[in-house]
């Protein structure tokens, strides 16, 4: 759910866009398709450096989403479903065609229904929501939001447990970001149990109730079912507990991948055929997880590795790359640059298929 190296990518995108290099390299860089990754679509997802909003990169405005769709449709890009993308990958695409676009939204937030769905519906665009079942059961502890809230609401954070030692002033935006970034990456490297234990203890110490937060932002099963009844919407699975699956035992990893699909079916009657690895980096989803997703019978599974889809992804349907429509990059020039492919060619050092 969170991206690596955002500032480095931003510099690269600006150079590529303003130099005109992306058009020059289009014949070799542009792939067959691109899967966009979104999380929250919120009216107040405005970039503001004066505000502490460390998870703002996961939020875009409905207006930006609409602007992207209008641009893509006006320029003859086809917005297709994941099922159609899987068919095209398996049957090889026609050369010379503009890349197709797939929209995916992770986790299962209620803003997807309130703010994204009306826009996709207005423009008749298919899209996918990957649901973490514990979120819809209102029992998912979103540790990244708890950390955000504790630092936002306090002038200092002091904590020493679970191998984490924090003693930081958090009086202003700069101090809050410095503390958040340091603690976030320590947590991200920890095992699931230790990480959740640490943030839960931190949240309790600072009187933050993470499950109240979950209730206020998560879709209910009724809402998931309602969305899934629209043929524009694909419901995919995103584990039960939103764990970094690579850090789990074989048995637990398989349960997260297989059982989440069963729960979605039991709660909504929807058959899930697509899967999304939480966090999605190589440290959090790798060869073992790709094998498990394939064995579970999914048609595709997506990571958060950056990149376009190329013909070679036919052999890597359980490790498909995506491109974040990121809250820090809410300008149409970035989207114009993404779909020509060069930024990801450079980012991946001219590899079309990520090497695991």
Minimal distance, residue 128 CB to Zn ion, in Å: 13
**Minimum distance from residue 3 beta carbon to Zn ion (Å):** 12
CB 116 within 8 A of CB 41: yes
Task: Output 31 or 108, the one with its CB closest to Zn ion.
Answer: 108
State the greatest distance between any 2 C-alpha atoms of the chain, in Å, as a whole number: 58
Nearer residue to Zn ion within complex by CB, 32 or 106: 106
Footprint on this chain of Zn ion (rule: CB under 5 A):
1, 106-107, 278
Structure tokens at 348: 């991946």
Neighbours of 225 (CB within 10 A): 17
- For the chain, counts of helices (H) and of strands (E): 17, 11
* CB closer to Zn ion, 65 vs 302: 302
Q: Which is nearer to Zn ion, 178 or 282 (by Cβ)?
A: 282
* Distance from chain centroid for Cα 194: 23
Q: How far, in Å, CA of 80 to CA of 352, rounded?
A: 21
Residue with smaller CB distance to Zn ion, 53 or 322: 322
CB of 135 to Zn ion, least distance (A): 9
Name the packing angle between helices 287-295 and 250-268 (round to 10°): 40
- Burial label, 22 (beta-carbon count in 10 A; 0-12, 13-18, 19+): buried
242: how many CB neighbours lie within 10 A of its CB? 25
For 259, the token pair is: 């059982």
> Least distance to Zn ion from the beta carbon of 286, Å?
17
Nearer to Zn ion, 1 or 272 (CB): 1
Least distance to Zn ion from the beta carbon of 45, Å? 17
Q: Which is nearer to Zn ion, 243 or 330 (CB)?
A: 243
Q: DSSP for 326-351?
A: -GGG-SHHHHHHHTT-HHHHHHTTT-
Among residues 99 and 236, whose Cβ is nearest to Zn ion?
Answer: 236
CB of 354 to Zn ion, least distance (A): 19
CB nearer Zn ion, residue 53 or residue 145: 145
The position carrying tokens 């850090």 is 247
Look at the alpha carbons of 314, 319, 321, 324 in this order and tell me if their dihedral is positive or negative.
positive
Token pair recorded at residue 23 = 């058009």
In 3-state terms, the chain is what percent helix, strand and coil (to 5)?
A: 50, 15, 35
CB of 276 to Zn ion, least distance (A): 7
Spatial CA neighbour of 281 closest among 322, 236, 334: 322
Least distance from Zn ion to the Cβ atom of residue 173, Å: 26
- What minimum distance in Å lies between the beta carbon of 134 and Zn ion? 11
CA distance 202 to 193: 14
Which residue reads 């009216």 in tokens? 43
């Amino acid at each position: 759910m969170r991206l690596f190296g955002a500032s480095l990518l931003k510099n690269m995108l600006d150079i590529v866009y303003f130099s005109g290099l992306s058009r020059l390299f289009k014949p070799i860089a542009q792939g067959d398709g691109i899967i966009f990754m979104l999380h929250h679509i919120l009216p107040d997802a405005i970039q503001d450096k004066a505000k502490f909003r460390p998870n703002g990169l996961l939020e875009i405005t409905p207006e930006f989403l609409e602007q992207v769709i209008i641009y893509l449709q006006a320029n003859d890009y086809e917005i297709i479903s994941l099922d159609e993308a899987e068919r095209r990958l398996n049957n090889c695409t026609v050369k010379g065609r503009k890349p197709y676009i797939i929209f995916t939204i992770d986790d299962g937030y209620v803003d997807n229904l309130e703010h994204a769905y009306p826009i996709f519906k207005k423009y008749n665009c298919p899209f996918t929501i990957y649901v973490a079942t514990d979120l819809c059961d209102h029992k998912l502890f979103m540790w990244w939001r708890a950390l955000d809230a504790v630092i936002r609401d306090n002038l200092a954070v002091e904590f020493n447990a679970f191998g984490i030692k924090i003693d930081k002033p958090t009086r202003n935006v700069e101090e809050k970001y410095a503390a958040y970034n340091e603690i976030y990456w320590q947590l991200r490297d920890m095992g699931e149990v230790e990480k959740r234990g640490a943030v839960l203890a931190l949240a309790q110490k600072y009187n933050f109730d993470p499950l109240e937060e979950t209730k206020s932002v998560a879709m209910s099963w009724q809402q998931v079912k309602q969305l899934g009844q629209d043929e524009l919407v694909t419901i995919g699975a995103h584990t039960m507990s939103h764990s970094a699956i690579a850090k789990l035992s074989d048995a637990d990893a398989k349960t997260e991948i297989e059982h989440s699909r069963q729960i979605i079916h039991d709660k909504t009657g929807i058959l899930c055929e697509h899967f999304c690895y939480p966090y999605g980096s190589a440290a959090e989803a790798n060869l073992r997880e790709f094998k498990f997703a394939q064995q579970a019978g999914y048609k595709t599974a997506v990571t958060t590795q950056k990149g376009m889809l190329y013909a070679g992804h036919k052999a890597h349907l359980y490790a498909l790359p995506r491109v974040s429509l990121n809250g820090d990059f809410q300008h149409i020039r970035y989207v114009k640059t993404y779909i020509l492919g060069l930024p990801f060619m450079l980012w991946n050092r001219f590899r079309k298929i990520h090497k695991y």
